Amino acid sequence: MVSPESKEVIHVPQGVTVTITGSTLKVKGKNGEMSRSFPGQGIAVKKEGNDVVIHADLPRKKTRALVGTYAAHIRNMVKGAVDLYEYKMKICYSHFPIKTKIQGDAFVIENFLGERTPRRARIMGVSKVKVAGDELVITGPNVEDVSQTAANIEQATTIRGFDQRVFQDGIYITSKGA
């Protein structure tokens, strides 16, 4: 039996403020402010006390799925306002020592497989990248920006033209967490 309505309730903890203006939801906490647009499509996003309620009357299958997606995005925003998301990466090389540095909003990888031209990976949003030896730590309040930055760095070191079983050099994600 399918329920005639779809509803998700997200509790907002102390110290986090949520404001809704039209279809834009802003979450502000100790780690900064994030905003995201949640367009209508028969879905209402409202604030009731310390809770954010996502509600759809008479939803179809796709609308019910979208209610869950909106709820997951809002939960991630609230969690990021309280705790920073953190991805750890490891620099692995056996042939040529990899040198890394941060230039503005780009992560620069030099001497990868002996290449003369440095490879670049974009740092998304307000994510912070720290390099300590062969460890990389990416932190930030927005899980999408942190994970995309890690993916950009990992994809910048993909190997083409060599046997990947032999040349395992690169920068790889080792752990994800909040």
Same domain? For 98 and 20 the reply is: no
Same domain? For 99 and 59 the reply is: no
Residue at a domain's end among 82, 113, 131: 82
Percent of the chain with pLDDT over 70: 97
Q: Which domain holds residue 89?
A: 85-177
Same domain? For 91 and 120 the reply is: yes
Residue found under tokens 């306002």: 81
Same domain? For 75 and 90 the reply is: no
Which CA distances in Å does 110 have to 34, 51, 102, 105, 148? 33, 48, 11, 16, 21
Q: How far apart are CA 172 and CA 157, in angstroms?
A: 9
CATH number for position 17: 3.90.930.12
Determine phi and psi for 156, rounding to 5 degrees. -65, -20
Same domain? For 159 and 95 the reply is: yes
Same domain? For 78 and 92 the reply is: no
Q: How far apart are CA 93 and CA 100, in angstroms?
A: 12
Tell me the three state secondary structure of residue 165: coil
- Tens digits of residue pLDDT in 116-141: 999 999 999 999 999 998 999 999 99
Exposed/middle/buried for 142, CB within 10 Å: 0-12, 13-18, 19+? buried
- Tens digits of residue pLDDT in 89-105: 999 998 789 999 999 99
Are the CB atoms for 71 and 10 separated by under 8 Å?
A: yes
Same domain? For 136 and 64 the reply is: no
Same domain? For 92 and 168 the reply is: yes
Q: How would residue 3 be classed by pLDDT, with cut points 50, 70 and 90?
A: low
Same domain? For 59 and 99 the reply is: no
Does the reported pTM lie above 0.75?
yes
